[in-house]
Amino acid sequence: MSSSSRQTYSVRAKNHPNHLVRKLFEVAEAKKTNVTVSADVTTTKELLDLADRLGPHIAVIKTHIDILSDFSEETTKGLAQLAEKHNFLIFEDRKFIDIGNTVQKQYHGGVLRISEWAHIINCSILPGEGIVQALAQTAAAEDFPYGRERGLLILAEMTSKGSLATGAYTTRSVDYARRYKEFVMGFVCNRSLTDEPTTETTKSEDEDFVVFTTGVNLSSSGDKLGQQYQTPQSAVARGADFIIAGRGIYAAPDPVEAAKQYQKQGWEAYLSRVGS
């Protein structure tokens, strides 16, 4: 567990150099929630309905925008309006994984125009350091219109059975995060990583990467396709700052009630971790 994991979101918000991370912690503190809902529905109507109903209980909505059957500008405009209305951030779980030149085009422009509406994106470092460098470069360009309102999470580990995102892959994720920390907010992973035995970089005193943990579910231990679940309590105890739940919330008989339950459990686990 890193030392920052023991600090409150407000303390971390105050001290953090990254504007979007500060905003994220402020949202969590203001709404008393560390829940990210993974809204893996397949129509714009379902997505916007869900975002509006769950909005008060979440800090972040995570999308897979390419699974929508009717994606259009209405989708992203609607999402952006709801993000304003309910004060949450939008995380597109696109998992960029290609050479730098390609991911720049996939991120900024293209049919999905991800940079226009997603505050947070993520990438795998399988292609090497260039992917992080390329995305960071796009966001730092003088003509990039969204400036400090955008950030990247490195996909350092996965929850699926037999995941190969382990060992050197994971430690390199930490190295690259440190090298591009103006744009890299943290990781999608299953535990705190900042004390990993890295080979190329060393931890700075004030290092504070955000940990998003997927695979959170209160009533199931997995699915038939290799997904592996843990509870909000165990995720937060291992270092998750934000817990990501999909089917546990949107496929529950009452998604709003479910979101409230994850909010309560995630928040209590956080309070107990920071000792208040």
The Cα–Cα gap between 59 and 37 comes to 8
Q: Could you tell me which residues come within 8 angstroms of residue 127 by beta carbon, excluding any fewer than 6 positions away? A: 97, 98, 99, 100
The response to whether 246 counts as a known ligand-binding position is yes
Mapped onto helix, strand or coil, the DSSP state of residue 264 is helix
Inter-residue contact 32 to 263 (CB < 8 Å): yes
The response to whether 227 counts as a known ligand-binding position is yes
Mapped onto helix, strand or coil, the DSSP state of residue 106 is helix
The response to whether 247 counts as a known ligand-binding position is yes
The CA distances from residue 170 to 20, 223, 244, in Å, are: 24, 24, 20
Of residues 6 through 65, those in contact with ligand 5BU by CB under 6 A are 38, 40, 64
> Is residue 98 annotated as a catalytic residue, yes or no?
yes
Decide: is 215 part of the binding site for ligand 5BU (CB under 6 A): yes
Decide: is 238 part of the binding site for ligand 5BU (CB under 6 A): no
Decide: is 232 part of the binding site for ligand 5BU (CB under 6 A): no
Decide: is 248 part of the binding site for ligand 5BU (CB under 6 A): yes
Decide: is 124 part of the binding site for ligand 5BU (CB under 6 A): no
Instruction: Give the nearer residue to ligand 5BU in terms of CB position, either 137 or 160.
Output: 160
Instruction: Give the nearer residue to ligand 5BU in terms of CB position, either 13 or 269.
Output: 269
Two structure tokens written together for 49: 């309905």
Count of helix runs (H) and strand runs (E) in the chain: 11, 8
The CA distances from residue 160 to 74, 151, 225, in Å, are: 33, 24, 8
Strand partners, 244: 36
Decide: is 113 part of the binding site for ligand 5BU (CB under 6 A): no
The Cα–Cα gap between 117 and 25 comes to 20
Contact residue for ligand 5BU among 28, 139, 155, 243 (CB under 6 A): 155
Smallest distance, ligand 5BU to C-beta of residue 186, A: 13
Measured torsion, CA atoms of residues 109, 110, 113, 114, in degrees rounded to the nearest 10:
-100
- Residue count at the site for ligand 5BU (CB under 6 A)? 17
Smallest distance, ligand 5BU to C-beta of residue 165, A: 8
The response to whether 40 counts as a known ligand-binding position is yes
State the catalytic residue, choosing from 23, 31, 93, 241: 93
State the catalytic residue, choosing from 32, 49, 52, 95: 95
Smallest distance, ligand 5BU to C-beta of residue 111, A: 20
Two structure tokens written together for 152: 């990247």
Nearest C-alpha neighbor of 189 from the set 47, 2, 57: 2
Smallest distance, ligand 5BU to C-beta of residue 221, A: 11
Contact residue for ligand 5BU among 20, 60, 118, 188 (CB under 6 A): 188
Strand partners, 89: 60
Nearest C-alpha neighbor of 104 from the set 87, 121, 79: 121
Smallest distance, ligand 5BU to C-beta of residue 194, A: 18
State the catalytic residue, choosing from 32, 98, 195, 260: 98
Decide: is 247 part of the binding site for ligand 5BU (CB under 6 A): yes
Q: Residue numbers of the site for ligand 5BU (CB under 6 A)?
A: 38, 40, 64, 93, 155, 158-159, 188, 214-215, 217, 227, 244-248
Task: State the catalytic residues.
Answer: 93, 95, 98
